[in-house]
Amino acid sequence: MTTKSKKSKTVSKKKKATTMTSDAGFVKFVKELQLIKEEFPGFEIKSKKDSKFCSFIKFLLTILTFGKCDFDKFSTLFGLTLYVCDSWNNLMWIERYVIICHERLHLRQIRKCGFGNFTIGKPIFSLLYLFLPLPIFFTFRGFWFEKEAYQESTRLLKENKMNYNLDDFVKQFTGPNYFWMFPFKKTVTKWMK
């Protein structure tokens, strides 16, 4: 066997492995999306760019965070709608799967806040998430909601052998994207590991 044919077989095996991984991610994403829609009828995924509501939220966040919030860089759940950033279509299917699992956990938290009723839970969740005990800084309830969801995200990333940047997760909690909800980087880093 020549060297050239060995290389060809190696390349074919790599392509096959990559395809299988992306196919597996696609299957997980589609199954999870179906389960979410069954559990939370009306759930949908929309682009932030096409939403006037998101444009308004971005405007407010720009003012409140002195222009430091990267609202266009992450997905955001409002009610039953997951608003995604422009990079959504460039993400691998397994990354999209992890994101919707994270958001599903938030949907369950909202329902739990309403004692099993999602509609009642929305304003309660929002109040707890954004304003208790203080607005913006030290929103400990929001911290616990996100902590639970990010722990699920990191678990799924590890389970699917995906790399992630711990510093990016820590910045979410300690920076303007989540209104500096928990300023203690060492504590966040410790429980994220």
pLDDT tens for each residue of 28-40: 999 999 999 999 9
In which band, very low, low, confident or very high, does the pLDDT at 7 lie, cut at 50, 70 and 90? very low
In which band, very low, low, confident or very high, does the pLDDT at 138 lie, cut at 50, 70 and 90? low
Question: What is the predicted pLDDT for the residue at 5?
Answer: 41
Question: What is the predicted pLDDT for the residue at 137?
Answer: 59
pLDDT tens for each residue of 94-124: 999 999 999 999 999 999 999 999 999 999 9
Give which of 115, 99, 112 is closest to 150, Cα–Cα.
99
- pTM, two decimal places: 0.82
pLDDT tens for each residue of 53-98: 999 999 998 998 888 888 888 899 999 999 999 999 999 999 999 9
Alpha helices per DSSP H over 85-182? 93-113, 118-131, 140-159, 166-174
pLDDT at 171 over 90: no
Question: What is the predicted pLDDT for the residue at 176?
Answer: 82
Contact (Cβ atoms closer than 8 angstroms) between residue 97 and residue 156:
yes
- Indicate the domain borders of the chain: 25-192
Question: What is the predicted pLDDT for the residue at 143?
Answer: 82
pLDDT at 147 over 80: yes
Least confident of 3-7, 38-42, 184-188: 3-7
Look at residue 193 and give its three-state secondary structure.
Answer: coil
Contact (Cβ atoms closer than 8 angstroms) between residue 122 and residue 79:
yes
